[in-house]
Amino acid sequence: MVILSKPAIEQFSYIRNKQAAAALFPPLIPIVDLSKPDSKHQIIKACEEFGFFKVINHGVPMELISRLESEATEFFSLPLCEKEKTGQPKPYGYGNKRIGSNGDVGWVEYLLLTTNQDPNLATENPESFRVALNKYMAAVKKMACEILEMVADGLNIQPRNALSKLMMDEQSDSVFRLNHYPPCLDVLQSLNGNVIGFGEHTDPQIISVLRSNNTSGLQISLRDGSWISVPPDQYSFFINVGDSLQVMTNGRFKSVKHRVMANSVKSRLSMIYFCGPPLSEKIAPLPCLMKGDQQSLYKEFTWFEYKRSAYTSRLADNRLMHFEKIAAS
């Protein structure tokens, strides 16, 4: 487990308890059963209303999930000097507290990996870790493609692999992230409220597929700006709509703003597969979704251009603002 010195807590952001309070009667997180014939309609509704949903009966074997969780837990329990042998996150590697290169910090340590090549892993048995990673990522990629094809079916997009083929492309720029949030005893002692584990942001990719252990901390922002906590479920996955899918649907889907709060007692481990297109892929509203004389809300851009802009911004910045079309007065 990473040990953070006590003075370091002063660097971190806080959310005062009264500001973080959820709605009195928060809405239920949408649950989509992928085995049901009407799941595509549930997915569309959830993407329109929340930009977020939970999936059950997802087809990813628990054996693969448990094995990767075990390998990741073993990695994060290593001494800091051993974990740092994996390399600094430039952009891929091991990171501790610092998120990106623009000043964002969080009560978190992480591994950020590309899905296209075997990572350098500083463990006693790196091959075992690689096998667990590759099997897990293959299963999650398959599920994510199925979800994107259900989205295409629900929106009447032809061909139905119009979205999933971006993930299946050999040049797909998908990435995988393992986040470890150690217990933060300062949460109990702090008068300021809750400590930020990972600050509020949207994901820039098409969708992201999240799985975590049974520790709470994840929160999402609703359309009215209020925040609600997402009950953890170690047997299910959570899907975030990303900025790219928001653009492709011309704003019909909204990328969900989310954050993670540090837990005072238990560590939290999350695994996120970020489904990205090839760097050269042009991102723009899909013509088949434009009705009548409906105008595009966004300028066309390549994934490389948007990724470069996103990763030179602060976490909480509105990255899409620079790619919005200005309405004529």
Cα angle: 290, vertex 292, 294; to 5 degrees: 55
Instruction: Give CA–CA dist 119/298, Å, rounded.
Output: 35
Identify the CA nearest to 275 among candidates 176, 178, 200, 202: 176
Instruction: Give CA–CA dist 236/52, Å, rounded.
Output: 13
Instruction: Give CA–CA dist 115/133, Å, rounded.
Output: 9
Instruction: Give CA–CA dist 1/73, Å, rounded.
Output: 8
Instruction: Give CA–CA dist 86/208, Å, rounded.
Output: 24
Do 261 and 17 touch, CB atoms closer than 8 A? no
DSSP 8-state assignment for residue 254: -
- Residue 223 falls in the annotated catalytic set: no
Instruction: Give CA–CA dist 59/39, Å, rounded.
Output: 14
Tokens 């610092």 — which residue?
Answer: 98
**Alpha helix segments (H runs only) across the chain:** 17-20, 39-49, 62-76, 80-83, 126-154, 164-168, 186-189, 243-248, 303-310
Instruction: Give CA–CA dist 247/297, Å, rounded.
Output: 8
Q: Angle formed by the axes of helices 39-49 and 126-154, to 10°?
A: 90
Among 268, 308, 314, 319, the one annotated catalytic: 268
> Residue 283 corresponds to which amino acid?
I
Maximum distance among all Cα pairs of the chain, rounded to whole angstroms: 63
Residues assigned a catalytic role: 268
